[in-house]
Chains A and B, each alone.
Chain A
Amino acid sequence: AQSVAQPEDQVNVAEGNPLTVKCTYSVSGNPYLFWYVQYPNRGLQFLLKYITGDNLVKGSYGFEAEFNKSQTSFHLKKPSALVSDSALYFCAVRDQGYGNNRLAFGKGNQVVVIP
């Protein structure tokens, strides 16, 4: 079975400081990995994905994520956080062998950027 763990419930960071949101995954084969962001009372918005190739993936709004196969991790990063980055962030994984495109989501991390 595929699964994702987001170990921290909330991440607090000062505006302008680097932001990291952690994610580890478990799949039986090779993974497709995704990050989504959810602003209050909104649906999930796609940020970035890892399919294959370069381990550093760049996405929307200045976010990037690093795929580490040996540590089964896919941490989301932003060099300089903005107050507007305060939101709920979800990591998701899909086993490449699944033709039904079912994703397993983590429980989410609340990010609070302090002015």
Chain B
Amino acid sequence: NAGVTQTPKFRVLKTGQSMTLLCAQDMNHEYMYWYRQDPGMGLRLIHYSVGEGTTAKGEVPDGYNVSRLKKQNFLLGLESAAPSQTSVYFCASSKDPLLHSYNEQFFGPGTRLTVL
């Protein structure tokens, strides 16, 4: 079991460039999440998905798009990167809370993104 994996681990972009971050999980989890982590601010939810083909906005969705075409994958896209998007991005997954009310989220190792 690999758990939650993220690709790439590091990336440097120039302002205005685009990129996609890939998250994959092999635990058959229904729910998946994208967070960003900035110093002194903890983790903030960008977007999340409650199942294949569904996505929803989180706390800080502006400038990002997501897709969940397959249950095991959750993609985060930056269409036109800005320096304010320099951050560490974490993907997480969990079981369906309606079926498993006391479940925790499992996190990937993170992607460190720098936008120049």
Contact = CB atoms under 8 A, between A and B. Distances in A.
A43 B42 contact: no
A100 B90 contact: no
Contacts of A83: none
Interface stretch (B13-21, B69-77, B102-110): B102-110
Interface of A: 9, 32, 34, 36, 41-46, 49, 51, 90, 96, 98-103, 105-108
Contacts of B97: 98-101
A43 B105 CA distance: 11
A103 B44 CA distance: 9
B42 A108 contact: yes
Interface residues of B, number: 28
Contact of A43 (B56, B102, B108): B108
B110 A43 contact: yes
In order of increasing CB-CB distance, the 3 nearest A-B pairs are: A43-B107, A51-B102, A101-B97
Nearest to A48: B104
B61 interface: no
B45 interface: yes
Interface in B9-61: 31, 35, 40-45, 48, 50, 56, 58
Contacts of A102: 45, 48, 58
13 contacts: A9-B40, A32-B102, A41-B110, A42-B109, A43-B107, A43-B108, A44-B90, A90-B42, A99-B97, A99-B98, A101-B31, A102-B45, A103-B45
Contacts of B45: 102-103
B84 interface: no
A99 B41 CA distance: 25
Contacts of B101: 32, 51, 96
Q: Which of A32, A90, A98, A103 has the most CB of B within 10 A?
A: A103
